[in-house]
Structure 1
Amino acid sequence: MKTWYLVTCKSRQEDRAATNICNQGIECFYPKIITERLQRGRKTIKESALFPSYIFVRLNDVNGKFSVVKNTRGINGFVAYGSKYQKVPNELVNSLINERLTESLLPESGDTVLVNNTSFKNIEAIYKEPDGDVRSIILINMLNKKVEVSIENKDIIVRGQD
């Protein structure tokens, strides 16, 4: 019977380790997360490992290629408790395989943000929507009326990221 095991790999080498393991005919997987954020005023999308430096490998319990995995380039070794390698429930790995994980660090419509530019220093505003790749439309309260203003993304401070 095949079981999923947890393996550690060298820092930021999940892709290399997974490729090398798969090239040897061993099933492996590591979940990735897609992160959206503002970086230097531009919306960037980055894909990275959900569990950095860890991958899952599926091996036969009895005659699995444990030594092959341990000696694969990019792999440090198996996660073990005592002398037993850490097994991972099939349901957990299957649920991670079927999930598309995303995290957005961009403001959503209606979020309160701070504006930090020469015209509006430390003014609270309501984020409305993106206006291209480098600008956004916000609502600023002026004379008890909400006014739409288009500003550069680099001038927006999202609560929790400041």
Structure 2
Amino acid sequence: MKNWYVVYTKPKWEKKVAEKLIEVGIECYCPLITQMRQWSDRKKAIEVPLFNSYVFVQLEDGNRNSVFQVSGVVRYLFWLGKPAIVKDGEIEIIKTSLKAPNISDISVTSIQVGDRIKLETGAFSNQDAIVQEISNTYYTLVLESLGCVLKIKYK
């Protein structure tokens, strides 16, 4: 069975790595978005990767080392000690979302200690929180308005 894995690339090599992976027969996906860039003399729309230094590859578990024949590939992204596997449905969601006509500007950021966030679901929905700690299995959030600390376990 083929799984989608995340390959970490050299900075700014995502499109080159994706092209070379396709050339050697490895199915891959590098989601691109169009952004307007301003130079001193002009503006130009350019395609940039949605995820910096990441390319998704789909292959058999036994063939995972074949990606290293392509220059620019650094390593696989790991999650809890194993190569991170992305579900087919998640790849389809990314593809579908990027085809939506009303998308103008997208950026992907990770949550970091000290960030202020708004909880969107669950018992504490619509509560503002400050990220106090991030571990491999949980987030610790401070809910100032309720005067409590919330520990959220994730899978």
Which band: TM-score by shorter chain? Answer: 0.5 to 0.7
Pairs within 5 Å for 1:61-80: 61=61, 63=62, 65-80=63-78
Answer with 1 or 2: which has the greater Rg: 1
Q: Matches of 2:78 and 2:68 in 1, distance apart? A: 12
Q: CA deviation at 1:41?
A: 6.6
Given that 1:36 and 1:103 are in contact with CA atoms closer than 8 Å, whether structure 2 keeps it comes out as no
Given that 2:9 and 2:75 are in contact with CA atoms closer than 8 Å, whether structure 1 keeps it comes out as yes
Question: Residue in 2 aligned with 1:44?
Answer: 44
* Structure 1: unaligned runs, 5 residues or longer: 105-162
Stretch of structure 1 that moved more, 38-47 or 78-87 = 38-47
Question: Residue in 2 aligned with 1:24?
Answer: 24
2:89 partner amino acid: E
Q: Give the 3-state SS of the residue equivalent to 2:105 in structure 1.
A: strand
* 1:89 equivalent among 87, 110, 116: 87
Q: Matches of 2:69 and 2:80 in 1, distance apart? A: 20
Percent of aligned pairs sharing the same letter: 29
Q: Deviations over 1:113-143 (max 9, x none)?
A: xxxxxxxxxxxxxxxxxxxxxxxxxxxxxxx
Given that 2:15 and 2:49 are in contact with CA atoms closer than 8 Å, whether structure 1 keeps it comes out as no
1:70 partner amino acid: F
Q: Deviations over 1:53-86 (max 9, x none)?
A: 101000123x3x2111134211001001344100
Q: CA deviation at 1:32?
A: 0.8
Question: Residue in 1 aligned with 2:118?
Answer: none
Q: Matches of 2:37 and 2:24 in 1, distance apart? A: 36
Q: Give the 3-state SS of the residue equivalent to 1:7 in structure 2.
A: strand
TM-score (norm 1): 0.56
* Structure 2: unaligned runs, 5 residues or longer: 107-155
Question: Residue in 1 aligned with 2:131?
Answer: none
Q: Give the 3-state SS of the residue equivalent to 1:103 in structure 2.
A: coil
Pairs within 5 Å for 1:1-162: 1-36=1-36, 38-40=38-40, 42-61=42-61, 63=62, 65-98=63-96, 99-100=98-99, 102-103=104-105
Q: Matches of 1:43 and 1:71 in 2, distance apart? A: 37
1:57 partner amino acid: V
Q: Give the 3-state SS of the residue equivalent to 1:8 in structure 2.
A: strand
